[in-house]
Structure 1
Amino acid sequence: MSIPFLRKKYVKKSNRRAAIKKLVKTFAILELIFIIILILSFYLAQPIKSTKVVYIPKGSINKIISYLKRKNFSLTNLDTIFLRFIGSPQSGWIDIKKENLSRGDFLYKLTKAKAAMVNITLIPGETTEIFLDQVAKKLKLNNIKLKKIYSKISPYPEGVLIPDSYNIPIGIDEKHFIYYMVRISLERHKNLSIKFFGNYNQKKWFEKYITIASIIEKEAANKDEMPLISAVIYNRLKIGMPLQMDGTLNYGKYSHIKVTPKRIKNDNSSFNTYKNRGLPPYPVCTVSLDAIKAAIFPAKVSYLYFVKNKNKKHLFSSTYKKHLMNIKAVKK
């Protein structure tokens, strides 16, 4: 009769041991979770240095983290996991607002923060120097710093930036602005070259076609005249005749300065096509798509001369005799 009693007693002890063992295991798991939370909290609380405005490309979280790593943000693969829980980062310019913040705050802002934008317009025919002066005033940036960074990363002093309207985040610094503008402009130049020629030869593209387009941009009264101005340039180059065009002297800071006989006489730069044969060494201004098309596809005419009439358009001629007649008619 005592055996069932002993068995019952033994079962109770076993259950008690199992319960204690289960409780210990639960506490161990909770302790591990607590330690993991502490470690993660410590990790997310670590300071990270950022720029006040950050550009985020379109793409997967992995691609975005890789991009930020290349831009010297101290991120790790662990941040990819965190972002999967927080949410996908936005693309475009993000207003972080601070340069020093915690890792957790930085990751959160990548998914939630918005950037206040300002519109910047670069008009065709404007020079980069004048444009950067305008940008410095509008965005409250240092124009000397802007030009220094531009000259460092741009393959050519002029003609690289594409005329267009750009939404730029308020708070962007000089370096990020220039890198952004040059990067997207060079990409568009490459795409245009591939579209027209099937390849991209940067030297030929800028030193021939964009340079010719820039002269067209400065000289043409309207879009319809562009292929005609282009033809005059090619025809003069073909026979070794100096271009002798005022527009080439409207380079850099002289973008809006009237070209006078005195200026022609005193300017000894390579942009003075009255003194130098051939094309200038690089473009004299930024150019529109219409000017680029005209530089690639000049009109099939024999014109060598043109003169501005009273309507601010041009009269074209193939001979010097006819050119003199047009000048006389304009002066009446």
Structure 2
Amino acid sequence: MLSFIYYLNKPIDSPKIIYISKGSISKIITQMQNNNYDVSKIDALLLRVIGSPQSGWINIGSTCNTRGDFLYKLATAKAALQNVTLIPGETTYIFLDQLAEELKLDRNILQSEYELQSQYPEGVFVPDTYSIPIGISEKLVIKILLNESLSNMKKLSMKAFGIYNEKKWLQIVTIASIIQKESANIEEMPLVSSVIYNRLRLGMKLQMDGTLNYGKYSHIKVTPTRIKEDTSIYNTYLHGGIPELPVCNVSVDAIKAAIFPANTDYLYFVKSKNGTHEFTRNYSTHLTNIMRVTK
């Protein structure tokens, strides 16, 4: 009896937020052991008496508990969730600002964790509404978002191409990010995509303002001065081809447009007074359109 009481009062360290997989108590214990939690078959037996943990995220409240408290919290605790929405076309820089504000996390640590865990500085998150456990760490939230996004990206690639080729997919997402920034609506996306491919085929520079809405400049109006002074890889007035990396995080619709552009001969477009764009193949017509919309 004394040894049993001693066992239940031994301290056990763990994160505040724990993910419990679906399955039997034995499967849950095995999963926790694989994730380096100090649990054993004895704990599986105790949980059968206390109760089976609910699958999903749970908040056990503290990082150090007695084993008895830890097992009780496993069986009874739940995690409060908060929805965070990443809007299509938003940059990761702005999204990290949003995560820090809405989840009360450290912005600098989020940035450091993102740089440690992500191979690319932009375009790796899938815009969606994510249910995030309140109290989660900066490291874990980045891990969750990256893993879920990569899984979704691979599914999209498999559906479109039958394979996931990282280099090819990065190029698709990069083109999709330009489409996302330039299009007024989903219906325009295949048309914008056609302009990109038509200009690339003819060796023309893209010269699209949206590529300069990268990073912290996501919502900053692009001026002639900015076009002249920005020497980044994103300046498609300065550099030919598409940028080496995506400009922003992209929607499924933008990805579809990047894979399936409309069949047009358009080379130019300009935003009209109603917010949509007017497309044309001829530069003279394009100049006329510019004059009309700027009156």
| Common fold: TM-score over 0.5 | yes
1:281 aligns with 2:215: no
1:238 pairs with 2:201: yes
Q: CA deviation at 1:184?
A: 0.7
Aligned equivalent of 1:119, options 57, 71, 83? 83
The letter of the residue matching 2:261 is P
Partner of 2:18, secondary structure, is strand
Residue aligning to 1:45: 9
- From the superposition, tell whether residues 60 and 157 of structure 1 become closer, same or farther in structure 2 (CA, over 3 Å): farther
Q: 1:155 to 1:65 in 2, by over 3 A?
A: farther
Q: Distance in 2 between matches of 1:59 and 1:264?
A: 56
Secondary structure at the aligned position of 2:131 is classed as strand
Q: Which amino acid aligns with 1:219?
A: E
What's the counterpart of residue 191 of structure 2?
228
Distance 1:195 1:127 in 2: 25
Distance 1:319 1:62 in 2: 69
The worse-fitting range, judged by mean Cα deviation, of 264-273 and 164-173 is: 164-173
Q: Report the counterpart of residue 224 of structure 2 in structure 1.
A: 261
| Aligned equivalents of 2:21, 2:206: Cα separation in 1 | 44
Aligned length: 295
- State the Cα distance separating 1:56 from its structure 2 match: 2.0
Corresponding residue number in structure 1 for 2:235 = 272
1:331 aligns with 2:274: no
Change in 2 beyond 3 A, CA 1:58/1:310: same
Shift of 1:76: 2.6
The gaps in structure 2 that reach 5 residues or longer are none
Superposed displacement of residue 91, structure 1: 1.7
Cα distance, 1:66–1:165 mapped onto 2, change above 3 Å: same
Pairing partner for 1:68 from 24, 32, 51: 32
Give how far 1:119 is off. Answer: 1.5
Query: Which has the larger displacement, 320-329 or 301-310?
Result: 320-329
CA distance, structure 1, for counterparts of residue 259 and residue 129 of structure 2: 24
C-alpha displacement at 1:185, in angstroms? 0.8
Q: CA RMSD in A?
A: 1.5
Matched, 1:161 2:125: yes
Q: Specify the alignment match of 1:304 in structure 2.
A: 267
1:61–1:240 Cα change, 3 Å: farther
Deviation string 1:47-103 (CA, Å, 9 cap, x unpaired) is 111111112233343443333334332223433333333332212210110110012
Q: Deviations over 1:146-184 (max 9, x none)?
A: 011011111211111111111212111111111111111
Tell me: CA distance 1:63–1:303, structure 2 relative to 1, closer, same or farther (3 Å): farther
Match 2:49 to one of 81, 85, 93: 85
| SS class of match (1:144) | helix
Quote the offset at 1:297 in angstroms. Answer: 0.8
Aligned AA for 2:153?
Answer: H
| Counterpart-to-counterpart distance in 1, 2:126 and 2:246 | 12
Amino acid at match of 1:172: I
Structure number with the higher helix fraction is 1
Query: Could you say what secondary structure the match of 2:187 adopts?
Result: coil
- Residue 137 of structure 2 is aligned with which of 162, 173, 177? 173
Deviations 1:218-272 (A, max 9, x none): 1000010000011111111112211111111111111011110111111111011
> TM-score, length-normalised on structure 2?
0.95
Q: 2:182 aligns with which of 198, 215, 219?
A: 219
Structure 2 residue identity aligned to 1:134? Q
* SS of equivalent to 2:279: strand
Max Rg structure: 1
TM-score (structure 1 length as normaliser): 0.85
CA–CA separation in structure 2 for the residues paired with 1:62 and 1:124:
41
1:249 to 188, 198, 212: 212
